[in-house]
Structure 1
Amino acid sequence: MTHEAGWAHAPGALRAPSWLREPSDPNVLVGHLWSQTAHKADGVLTVGGVSLVDLVAEHGSPAYVLDEADFRARARAFKEAFGDFDVFYAGKAFLCTATARWAAEEGLSLDVCTGGELAVAERAGIDMARVGFHGNNKSLAEIEKAVTLGVGRLIVDSFHEIQRVADVAEGLGRTQPVMVRVTAGVEAHTHEYIATAHEDQKFGFSIVNGQALDAVRRVLAAPSLELLGLHSHIGSQIFDSSGFEVAARRVLALQAQVRDELGAELPELDLGGGFGIAYTTQDDPSEPKQLAHEMSEIVAHECRALGIAEPRLSIEPGRAIVGPAMCTVYEVGTVKEVELDGGATRTYVSVDGGMSDNIRTALYDADYSCTLAGRRSDAPPVLARIVGKHCEAGDIVVKDEFLPGDVRPGDLVAVPGTGAYCRSMASNYNHTLRPPVVAVRDGASRVVVRRETLDDLLATDVGIGQ
């Protein structure tokens, strides 16, 4: 039987993954993995003009550090590149009232997929006409709230939901705009759990077996629904437009079929997105301008071939806006050398967070980078594994990275690319407290999501005091 630790227990010396190169100087920042204002001075990492040493002294650790200027610049880059498109910021990536307002101020619309995310949008004062509501199992209460608020689009995902939305809209005396989510049978080159356009998964109506056409037919037959168009999403952490070409061809062919068989011209098409970011040096994401050009050409070509008018297009960049705009800073608690088979050793660096603030390594086998953030070191690099404080062997933050060989308790370690899905998927596992989100800009820091307290943690425990 193969040991669960895999290659680490193979005979011989411990080796880094093939894509990870040993640096000549482990203090140097790999710039393209970090937000645009991040830099080091004498070994101290500064983001948004704020030293992380000073930030931790004021706000504690661990902490998510959100670069507002970087967030806004990436939002603008997508809006400018996809000028004729509607660009939807993914609330599920990371959402608070501050980021919702930043996205709106930079001209983006907003995607939500639960009543909680919708509540944040409402509290932030977002124009509900610019909100899209996703989800494969929206509750009746969520649908009623969305229709009442005037959400600009509900993306329907099942026959039950079509009827549910129609009944709610009719009862409220509204006409609700909807999009029909379809699966195009395209499997993006990504993790199984985040590939969303192959047939064997929970989202959407299949084009192949005729479900999608039937769904369109049912929406058109409902007087309280307005069909805006079709919605397709092929996955997440996608680095090029090749998958969109196949998906667009199949979805636009369905759009032509809707026109020819049902007599309906669909004015809009959402191609999804899920564009990737650089977590490590092995990742090479495309620039927004390149993606915009290629996707526009794909749609124009297919529409010409099918003889249909080009619909108004939407995209959903996903993690590509907030992902690189945030890093997480931790304090080192212990450093341990573990002897492995074959005489190799692994350096385990334990930090004061872990899988409760970043579950992606354990859940998706995701790779991350990191850097020593609080001082400069002249020690040679060692291959280290950054692990958390939780009672799990799989509590790994960074599987492999070169750090200075004198890394020690009290050091600060920062991990880039944690803006997407880390705080959103954070938990209270082992009854830990979720870290704050500290926004930085122009040399100042401010808390936009505060650190949880023990009172927060115990507030829902109704047995206390009984």
Structure 2
Amino acid sequence: MNAQLQPSQVNEAGHMAIGGVDTLKLADQYHTPLMVYDVDQITGQVARFKKVFEENNVDYVVSYASKALAIKAIYQLLKPAGDHVHADVVSAGEMATAFQAGFPAARLTFHGNNKSKQELVMAVDHHVGMIVLDNFHEIDLLTAVLEERDATARVMLRITPGISAHTHQYTATGQVDSKFGFDLDSGQADQALQQVLANPRMDLCGVHAHIGSQIFELNGFEMAAAKLMAVVDHWRQDYCYLASIINVGGGFGIRYVSADHPLKPEEFVDAIVKTVKKEAARRHLPLPAIWIEPGRSIVGPAGYTLYTVGSRKDIPGLEPYVSVDGGMGDNIRPALYQAKYETVFAADPTQKAAEHVRLAGKYCESGDILADDVPLPKTKAGDILVMLDTGAYGYTMASNYNRNPRPAIVFVKNGHSQLVVKRETLADLVALDQSYTLE
């Protein structure tokens, strides 16, 4: 059996099951390509994050990073988790989705490196709980919005801690040369601090940093936590300001393929908490609240994509191309930054591989290869394949390239399934088009 599958994921018929639901039945009922999420995997990971904080007896927030999957159902799923479970948003669209889902605005954090005035107005008018200031332009823009609306806002300052985590260059964010945050060494962060402290409409709550995504090593997070505590100490001594929150971001790596050996996500958090405690004691600082922003580690392993096999191309001496009915339109990560996934045969995920293939998408790009060197039984047109750990960034980065509709999303739990995002129709694809009338 694939190492990523549990015995419970193979049912009595020998088929792969997700949340107790047969994947062949899911494909038959909802068609493919289809994204399927195991609800218990999502809520279980959130509970494990909460547990590690509570066992360490610290104030905390687990803030779900919406960019991993921003649909109404995920906010509705997280809402009952309580006041210690928040969500962070980076656009008017993500905010609006959370509002539509009934997620409390007070439990939202608004991020982004180029927030528009309209987005800030939206956040202020809806009383979003925290706004993370990323640059001087945003300080000025938010100041103007608060004055116009005669309002106040809770804010944090995002800094670039100068820590380069071991990750893909496109997902590294903590190094000095980054589009995000205020630089420490140049004095930008101190200047921003003084501007915000002088503004009576802004309640500065703390400091934020994020060092990257899909990180496997503890030391980067430990260094980031220590750096944030050093900043807190510096601001206390030099500016008589004591931050009550440090936000260490997210980026906890998950297993995609057998070569990946990450720690459990909660182990990263435990190391962060222990570092903060040690630094607080060493520097004689009160222990701040610790916020994290996991996204991938919450929804990534809980998500699966079902595809139907179509054409096949055999080339003597080379791996054959097995094409499926999806591809870079529903998962651009392999083309964008060489992301890798494992795939199983839905009808018998324990069946031994008969060949290694290249799993190709249906889009008109040579780079539309979902996975290389995939071990599979001999497949034929109509067979269902299940790609594992596709829950993060697939749908949120999906496109209508080649005018293909985006797939449906189904949540499963205890043997039951529910459609939470409808499949786009051909009518949806042209709904915004206008007829040409110029002469």
TM-score normalized by the length of structure 2: 0.95
Residue aligning to 2:396: 424
Aligned in 2, Cα 1:106/1:284: closer, same or farther, shift over 3 Å?
farther
| 8 Å contact kept, 1:194–1:235 | yes
| Structure 2 residue 25 is the aligned partner of structure 1 residue 54 | yes
Please tell me whether the aligned partners of residues 37 and 70 of structure 1 are also in contact (alpha carbons under 8 angstroms).
no
How big is each residue's C-alpha offset from its partner over 1:316-358, in whole Å with a ceiling of 9 and x where there is no partner? Answer: 112000001110000000122223xxxx321211000000000
What secondary structure, in the 3-state scheme, does the structure 2 residue paired with 1:272 have? coil
Residue number in structure 2 paired with 1:94:
69
Q: 2:174 is aligned with what amino acid?
A: A
Question: What is the SS of the residue equivalent to 1:461?
Answer: coil
SS state at 1:321 partner:
helix
Matched, 1:191 2:168: yes
Query: What residue is the counterpart of 1:104 in the other structure?
Result: 79
Comparing 141-150 with 374-383, greater Cα deviation is found at 374-383
**Structure 2 residue 212 is the aligned partner of structure 1 residue 239:** no
- The answer for the alignment partner of 1:175 in structure 2 is 152
- Counterpart position of 1:203: 180
CA contact (8 A) 2:218 2:271 kept: yes
User: CA 1:377 to 1:80, structure 2 compared with 1: closer, same or farther past 3 Å?
Assistant: closer
Matches within 5 A, 1:254-265: 254-265=231-242
C-alpha distance after superposition, 1:179-237 (max 9, x if no partner): 00000111111100001101112100111211111111111111111101100100011
The one of 397, 400, 409 equivalent to 2:381 is 409
Task: Tell me by how many angstroms 1:465 deviates.
Answer: 8.7
Secondary structure of 2:67's counterpart equals: coil
Instruction: Choose the corresponding residue for 1:393, options 362, 366, 371.
Output: 366
Kindly indicate whether the alpha-carbon contact (under 8 Å) linking 2:62 and 2:294 is maintained by their aligned counterparts in 1.
yes
Q: Counterpart in 2 of 1:13? A: none
User: Which 10-residue stretch deviates more, 79-88 or 124-133?
Assistant: 79-88
Match of 1:137 among 94, 104, 114: 114
Match of 1:45 among 16, 19, 31: 16
State the AA in 1 paired with 2:300: G
2:269 aligned with 1:292, yes or no?
yes
Deviation per residue, 1:371-413 (Å, 9 max, x gap)? 1113479675211111100110100111222111x21111111
Counterpart secondary structure, 1:274: coil
CA distance in 1, matches of 2:349, 2:150: 65
Per the alignment, in what secondary structure is the counterpart of residue 424 of structure 2?
coil
Separation in structure 2 between the aligned mates of residue 370 and residue 129 of structure 1, nearest angstrom: 40
Unaligned runs of 5+ in 1: 1-27
Consecutive aligned runs of 4 or more in structure 1 exceeding 4 Å deviation = 40-43, 375-380
- State the match for 1:73 in structure 2: 44
Q: 1:435 pairs with 407, 422, 432, which one?
A: 407
Change (3 A) 1:378 1:360: closer
TM-score (norm 1): 0.89
- Counterpart-to-counterpart distance in 2, 1:262 and 1:377: 62
Counterpart contact for 2:133–2:155, Cα < 8 Å: yes
Corresponding residue for 2:134?
Answer: 157
SS of the residue corresponding to residue 169 of structure 1 reads helix
Deviation at 1:31, TM superposition (A): 2.8
Q: Is the CA contact (8 Å cut-off) linking 2:319 and 2:373 kept in structure 1?
A: no
Pair 1:362 & 2:339 matched: no
Find the residue that maps to 2:292 and give its secondary structure. strand
Q: Distance in 1 between matches of 2:320 and 2:10?
A: 26
**Structure 2 vs 1, CA of residues 142 and 377 (structure 1 numbering), >3 Å: closer, same or farther?**
closer
Q: Distance in 1 between matches of 2:221 and 2:137?
A: 28
Partner of 2:246: 269
Q: 1:91 and 1:447 mapped to 2: Cα distance? A: 20
Aligned to 2:427: 455
CA offset digits 1:97-150 (Å, max 9, x no partner): 111011122232111110000001111111111110100011111100101111
Amino acid at match of 2:233: A
Matched, 1:227 2:204: yes
Q: Which region of structure 1 is more displaced relative to structure 2, 323-332 or 292-301?
A: 292-301
CA contact (8 A) 1:213 1:254 kept: no
Cα distance in 1 for partners of 2:53, 2:352 equals 46
**Is the 1:29–1:39 contact (alpha carbons within 8 Å) kept by the matching residues of 2?**
no
Deviations 1:7-31, CA, capped at 9 Å, x for gaps: xxxxxxxxxxxxxxxxxxxxx2323
Distance 1:451 1:209, change over 3 A: same
Aligned partner letter, 1:280: V
Residue identity opposite 2:264 in structure 1:
E
Q: Any conservation in 1 of the 2:34–2:306 contact (CA below 8 Å)?
A: yes
Contact 1:368 1:399 in 2 (8 A): no
Q: Which amino acid aligns with 2:91?
A: T
Give the Cα–Cα distance (whole angstroms) in 1 for the partners of residues 354 and 81 of structure 2: 41
How far apart are the structure 1 equivalents of 2:277 and 2:373?
Answer: 44
Question: 1 CA distance for matches of 2:295 and 2:400?
Answer: 25
Identity %: 41
* Counterpart AA for 2:385: V
What corresponds to 1:335 in structure 2?
A: 312
Q: Paired residue for 1:346, among 292, 296, 319?
A: 319
**CA distance in 1 between partners of 2:366 and 2:138 (Å):** 41
Tell me the equivalent position of 1:279: 256
Aligned to 1:21: none
2:119 and 2:8 map into 1 onto residues whose CA distance is: 39
